[in-house]
């Protein structure tokens, strides 16, 4: 069975998920946090907030990538064991 193209590129899928998480969490914080916490966040400054967003993106991307590690099932292990191995290459037997 062919895997989808995003399944073959787990870092791309992790980056998409990290972007979604990075957009969702600060938005939810801005909507649901009490005004005192919002004032404290503004007091941090633009540079620290940008670094916090970048850290959130990197950490969430790494965690999503770890969660996307695909474990093989026992059926797949059996299929791999049943596949014939190619014959060993014999060197220097033809076309010198």
pTM (2 d.p.):
0.67
Question: What pLDDT band is residue 10 in, cutting at 50, 70 and 90?
Answer: confident
pLDDT tens digits for range 13-38: 999 999 999 999 999 999 999 999 99
SS3 3: coil
User: For residues 79 and 43, what is the distance between their CA atoms, to the nearest angstrom?
Assistant: 59
DSSP-assigned letter for residue 34: -
Residue 96's pLDDT is what?
55
Write down the residue that tokens 């062919």 correspond to.
Answer: 2
């Amino acid at each position: 069975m062919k895997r989808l193209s995003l399944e073959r590129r787990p870092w791309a899928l992790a980056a998409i998920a990290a972007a979604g998480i990075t957009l969702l969490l600060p938005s939810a914080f801005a909507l649901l946090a009490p005004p005192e916490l919002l004032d404290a966040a503004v007091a941090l400054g633009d540079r620290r907030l940008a670094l916090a967003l970048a850290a959130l993106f990197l950490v969430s991307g790494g965690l999503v990538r770890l969660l996307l590690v695909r474990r093989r099932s026992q059926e797949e292990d059996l299929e791999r064991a049943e596949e014939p191995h190619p014959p060993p290459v014999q060197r220097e037997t033809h076309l010198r």
